[in-house]
Amino acid sequence: MYQIQNKTLKSKFLQLKYGYQEFVMHPSGCLYWPSQNTLLVADVHFGKVEHFRKNGSALPSQVGLENFKKLNLVLNEFQPKELIFLGDLFHSAQNKDWDRFTVWVGRQKVKMTLIVGNHDIIPPYRFEDLGIKVLPELVDGDLFLTHHPEKREGFFNICGHLHPGYRLRGEGRQQLKLSCFYKKPYQLVLPAFGAFTGHFLIEPEADEDVFVVSEDLVLSIK
């Protein structure tokens, strides 16, 4: 079973407890694991903006820099000993963002692990040369971390891939699409961390929960 605990509005986040484990859902879309002093991030998609620019899309290159700024902010806030990327760290083949990423990694002191996603087509040794450990999945007790959502008897899955979002409806035709954490009884899907990723809109079932993220809050829909 899991429990949700609201913090004060000033604290900006929501706590999720599963068994003896506690996690912090942050407005950035990252998940902090206090007992392991570890930060989990899904679907950064470095290089996506440069990939589209290379193929003719009129996107400002500054958009791609937002992911670096956002990561720096959450790393400074939590000061984790480990940063685990839940797949789709890099969107495509190497491009200008790979050079930026290489420089960024070289400036970090945090241990990094990549759980490979479907977009991670750069050879693993390229990441390993930067000191990033590369794994297909990671198991810790009854928790297992993957990129694609998976169901495994007796385990709780933390993953990414879906880019979950939720449509908030207001009066008349007003609506707002927000990224969200998507909680099933056996699984938590993280929102896409990247700035240029889109949403897969969620219609939760009765036993599921959605926690939308705004600029400075995480809010339960129920």
pLDDT tens-digit series, residues 124-140? 999 999 999 999 999 99
Percent of the chain with pLDDT over 90: 62
Residue 212: the pLDDT is 94
**Full-model pTM:** 0.88
pLDDT tens-digit series, residues 18-67? 888 999 999 999 999 999 999 999 999 887 655 444 544 444 466 567 88
* Domain ranges across the chain: 2-220
Query: Nearest Cα to 192, choosing from 159, 220, 158, 160?
Result: 160
Query: Nearest Cα to 119, choosing from 68, 69, 85, 96?
Result: 85
> What is the third-level CATH fold of 2-220?
Purple Acid Phosphatase; chain A, domain 2 (3.60.21)
d(CA 155, CA 137): 13
pLDDT tens-digit series, residues 76-120? 999 999 999 999 998 776 667 888 899 999 999 999 999 999 989
Query: Nearest Cα to 87, choosing from 107, 52, 50, 113?
Result: 113
Query: Nearest Cα to 211, choosing from 202, 20, 66?
Result: 202
- Eight-class DSSP state of 27: T
